[in-house]
Structure formats: structure tokens, C-alpha cells
Amino acid sequence: MKRDYAEDLFNSIEPIVFSPVFLRMHKTVHIAIIKDSYDKDENGKFELDDDYKIEIAFEKLPVFQIGLQSFSDNVIQEINKSLDTKTVSNDETEFTESTRPALQNDDYYKHYNPYKLRDKNPSGGTSVINNQLHKDFSGSLGLAFKLKNHTGSYFLSNFHVLARRKELNVKRYETIIHPSKSDTYDNNTSDLNPIATLFWFNLDEYVDAAIAKSNCEKSIGSGIRCLPNLKIEGVDSPEIGQNVMKCGRSTNLTHGVIRSDRCTVLIKDKYKLVSKTGSRIFKDQILTKCMSLAGDSGSVLLKSAKNGHSTSALGLLFAGDSENYSYHNKLNNIFYRLIGDSEYLIMPKLDFDNFL
């Protein structure tokens, strides 16, 4: 089906598959607009523009896909019938209770990674955390950048990495440390380095994001540590089929492909970092195959650099299931929210300038 038709169908199905009644029956994980072919012509246009589908993933069941041939007027009835009879698509991806998408730092992934250790000038992909979070939590520094109307250097990561729990009275200027407590040798607190203070944060149905201001001009490194010579030139919009990469605290440099540029996902949050109920729905997300493990939250999703010298940033990793998929906020959604909208307090008005 055409993209505009897929958008209309997505808009009609999304509220139903995440309704309380439907969730009790089938435990929806995500719904996304996907595409069968990523082949493009010499002008960069998709050779096929009528092969978009709606993908719905369920816990403990293979995914369900709706194409033009499978579409009917009563699509929800067709979904229920197929799930009840276990007649599903050829995609055999399954979510179990242990692999359901979760915030990527909700369990400490214990394996050796030299980049968990202290770095004099931490850059994108190194270990950071709010100093008041439990010692078993860790996340990733995203990217450092400048603001047009503020002095100093800043860096991006997740709300649940830099701003603690949703229900707590989170305040600006809380201390951000590198590395996290879990990444020090024998939890030696003398290894902890206060590198920044919490400056801006927001958590809503579109973003799980926070910004910290470095303690001094030289305390944060530029770019990402995995590719130190790569220049990040700015923010771009994601597209289905784009080759992407990220540098994170746990898995270092990983590569993938954008499977969907419009995904709604229900995230498990057993530590209640972003939800009092233990789960939260995020809309308008980027969906990729799994590129991450616990501790990679806050990594910035980048377009793969064809020339190896420069690229642009697309998203902010915040969740995944460690086997099938990773989920990313759109950076455009984050930076558009730098005008101060927040359910907590009035944030400073910011104007993004450039990445360091």
C-alpha cells in the first residue's frame, strides 16, 4: 500500500491495539509502518512506493503484518481471528516475558568492557549516570553540543539515565558522574568523576530525554569514542531503509537498518524509572533491529558515514529487548522540545547550535 494509505491505517489501528481490552487479550508490544523493499533509483527515490505494511508485534506470538492484499474493512476482527487461530505472518520474531522491550539500563549487563572505565574527557558512548541512581544502573553519554543562547558545553542522554525516577522530585543541577557506580572497580567511589549537572529534562509520550551541562569547558570530549575522527554535522530526519550505527557504553559500535520511522511501543519499566505503573507507551519512535544491550541507553543513532569523515544524527536510543529490536526517540522531537515544555517545571529556553 502507499505511504499515505499506511499512515491512515496506522492512525485507525494504533488506539485499538493499545486499548486496555486489547492489551489484556493479546499484549501488544509495538505497531509500526514498515516497508518490504529498500531499493532506490539513481535519484534516491524508492523503486517501489506501494509496498508499505503495518506490523504489529505481540508478546509470545510472531508478528502480524497487514499489507494491501491482507487488508479488510474490519481489520481488527481479522487480527483477532488470526491470533486466536495462531495463523501469523512468515516473520517468526517472538517476544517472551524475558525479552519484552525494556528500558536499556533496567538491568546491569555484567561483561567486560574497557570503556566502562574512567576517561579523562568522556565523549559519546561512555558511561554516565545521575549520582543519586542505584549503583547497578548505568547509561551512555550521547553527544556533546553547543547552544546558541547559553555558554559552556552540554551533552544529551535519556531522562531515565540523567534525571532518576519520574515520581521523585527531580531538580535541575543534580550531579552527573562518569563512570557510573556499577562501572568502577569493586564499586570504588574514588573512581567517580562529577562531570556535569542536570540542566534540562523532559519525559512524555514522544521523548525520554535529558541534557547535562559540563562542569568546565574541557570536561567533555567531542564526537563519539568509537570513531574519534567522525564529525557529526547536525540533526536529520530518519527514513526507512537507512543504514545506521551507534556507539554505546555496553556494546560499543553496532550497525543496523531503520525498519520503521513511525513506531508506537509499549515499554516495560520494572524499576519505574519513567512510569509509576511499570509500563509506558511511546509514540513516533524509530525502530531498528537489535543494536543494543542494557547500559546503552542514551546512545545517539547516526547515519552510517559513507565517506568515513562526516555524518548526521537521527535518534536517541532509550529501549530494546536485547534480542529483536531497539527503539530510539527522534532527535527532531527532542530538540523541538527545547523550548521549555515539560510536565515538571518551566525549563530554560534553548536553541541548539552544533555538535562538538
Contact call for residues 238 and 261 (beta carbons, < 8 A):
yes
Mean pLDDT of 177-198: 73
Task: Give the whole-angstrom CA distance, residue 331 versus residue 236.
Answer: 8
Compute φ and ψ for 14, nearest 5 degrees: -50, -50
| Domain range list for the chain | 3-84, 101-356
Q: Confidence class of residue 140 from pLDDT cuts 50, 70 and 90?
A: very high
Q: Per-residue pLDDT for 97 more than 70?
A: no
pLDDT tens digits along 113-128: 544 556 777 888 888 9
Highest mean pLDDT among 75-79, 84-88, 107-111, 170-174: 170-174
Mean pLDDT over each residue of the chain, to the nearest integer: 81
Identify the band that residue 216 occupies on the pLDDT scale cut at 50, 70 and 90. Answer: confident
Q: Are 29 and 57 in contact (CB under 8 A)?
A: yes
User: Is residue 300 pLDDT above 60, yes or no?
Assistant: yes
Question: Is residue 342 over pLDDT 60?
Answer: no
38-42, 78-82, 316-320: which is most confident: 316-320
| Rounded average pLDDT over 72-90 | 61
* Phi, then psi, of 313 in degrees rounded to 5: -95, 145
Q: How confident is the model at residue 68 (pLDDT cuts 50, 70, 90)?
A: low
**pLDDT tens-digit series, residues 303-316:** 998 777 889 999 99
* Cα 103 to Cα 75, 176, 223, 288, 350, distances in angstroms: 31, 19, 24, 15, 27
Handedness of CA 38, 40, 44, 47 (dihedral sign): negative
pLDDT per residue over 12-58, tens digit each?
999 999 999 888 888 899 999 999 888 988 888 888 888 999 999 98
Kindly report the number of other CB atoms within 10 A of residue 185's CB atom. 10
Cell numbers 569493586 correspond to: 186
Instruction: State pLDDT tens for residues 277-299.
Output: 888 999 999 999 999 988 899 99
Q: What's the pLDDT score for residue 255?
A: 94
Give me the amino acid identity at 164.
R
With a CB cutoff of 8 Å and minimum separation 6, the contacts of 285 are 262, 263, 264, 265, 327, 328, 329, 330
Strand order from edge to edge, sheet including 144-147: 139-140, 127-130, 175-178, 193-203, 208-214, 150-157, 144-147, 352-355
pLDDT value at residue 71: 56
The pLDDT score that the predictor gives to residue 278 is 83
Q: 57-71, 85-99, 120-134, 297-311 — which one is most confidently predicted on average? A: 297-311
How many CB atoms are closer than 10 A to CB 72? 9
Pick among 2.40.10.10, 1.10.150.120, 3.30.70.260, 3.40.50.300: CATH of 101-356:
2.40.10.10
If you ran DSSP here, which 8-state letter would residue 321 be given? -
